[in-house]
Chain A
């Protein structure tokens, strides 16, 4: 679903930029949207049981007009752009996988290990079941390294 929204957003930016060029106005520069949180896990199709609220967390380098359009497109799809999304902490080691690359809009999704470390560190109570399920499936060595580096007490989840 997020890819379809990114496509529509890119088409909107293309159109606005054509208009702006014709009128001699400034155009929107290309932007990258990094998808985080539960929505990222859902988009990645991780084999964990997820219950996701309608808010979408992103880090992005777009301007206010593109943000407003993204907000509108998400609302049409019953989703909401989290106003505090920019405050979401992600480890420096986060890897982003490209989901969509348009002319002006690129959509990337954070890797599952990084999202889960962020959740375990910043909202352990809310994400307890998720982390326990992940540990039961066998955490990756990378997740264990990140947990060690960021001092996530995994035993506390059990």
Chain B
């Protein structure tokens, strides 16, 4: 087993490598943007930027600071406008993003457990709600008329009418099961 002095000597060598990576503009840009957005807090001064984040830079920076990898998939789902391009994502990142879009817990991504990726879904966006998914139905004209009437009378959106209706139905069903 290594003694404390040898441990410190080797750690100093590793820190020198880490320092070099932390001075890299890719790390500085990504960290600066995330600190500027209030998603990360550091105890050192980081030049803040408003430039879009390059996903490749973020993945590179995440090797130095894994908390960037923890936030990245949720940010791609909730705040895609923060990124320069979100089309050609690496497979593992694309899979994590796809799972989060379905509001599912993804597989581990670059050492970050899926549950830690999923928990940011509701807190990195502007609204603290999980993402919604498109679902299409074929409705009769009378259903559409009813939906429109409810929308107008309640002063809410058609989606909100459907959500309320579903919850009312679930609650009524639950009540029947209990009695």
Q: A132 and B14 in contact (CB under 8 A), knowing A51-B67, A80-B123? A: yes
Q: How many chain-B residues does the 8 Å CB contact rule pick out?
A: 32
A78 and B38: CB pair below 8 A? yes
Interface positions of A from 119 to 139, Cβ below 8 Å from B: 125-126, 128-129, 132-133, 135-136, 138-139
Most buried by B among A50, A80, A136, A138: A136
User: Separation in Å of the A68 CB from the closest CB of chain B?
Assistant: 15
A154 to B1, CA, bound (A): 10
User: Separation in Å of the B38 CB from the closest CB of chain A?
Assistant: 5
B10 and A126: CB pair below 8 A? no
Partner of A133, one of B1, B15, B68: B15
Say yes or no: is A60 at the interface (Cβ < 8 Å to chain B).
no
B66 and A125: CB pair below 8 A? yes
Interface positions of B from 33 to 92, Cβ below 8 Å from A: 38-44, 64-68, 70-71
A155 and B67: CB pair below 8 A? no
Q: How many chain-A residues does the 8 Å CB contact rule pick out?
A: 28
Partner of A139, one of B4, B12, B71, B112: B4
Interface positions of B from 96 to 144, Cβ below 8 Å from A: 111-112, 119-120, 123
Q: A135 and B18 in contact (CB under 8 A), knowing A53-B39, A54-B41, A129-B65? A: no
B71 and A53: CB pair below 8 A? yes
Q: A53 and B67 in contact (CB under 8 A), knowing A42-B41, A42-B43, A144-B4? A: yes
A136 and B15: CB pair below 8 A? yes
A49 to B67, CA, bound (A): 13
A78 to B68, CA, bound (A): 18
Q: A51 and B42 in contact (CB under 8 A), knowing A126-B67, A126-B112, A154-B7? A: yes
User: Separation in Å of the A130 CB from the closest CB of chain B?
Assistant: 10
Say yes or no: is B2 at the interface (Cβ < 8 Å to chain A).
yes
A83 to B115, CA, bound (A): 12
Q: Which residues of A sit under 8 angstroms from B22, Cβ to Cβ?
A: 49
B40 and A51: CB pair below 8 A? yes
Say yes or no: is B8 at the interface (Cβ < 8 Å to chain A).
yes
Q: A133 and B43 in contact (CB under 8 A), knowing A125-B111, A126-B112? A: no
Say yes or no: is A101 at the interface (Cβ < 8 Å to chain B).
no
Say yes or no: is A158 at the interface (Cβ < 8 Å to chain B).
yes
A85 to B134, CA, bound (A): 34
A45 to B43, CA, bound (A): 8
Say yes or no: is A18 at the interface (Cβ < 8 Å to chain B).
no
Say yes or no: is A88 at the interface (Cβ < 8 Å to chain B).
no
Say yes or no: is B31 at the interface (Cβ < 8 Å to chain A).
yes
Contacts A/B (CB < 8 Å), 5 sampled = A49-B44, A54-B123, A126-B66, A132-B11, A155-B7
Name B residues whose Cβ lies closer than 8 Å to a Cβ of A: 1-2, 4, 7-8, 10-12, 14-15, 18, 22, 31, 38-44, 64-68, 70-71, 111-112, 119-120, 123
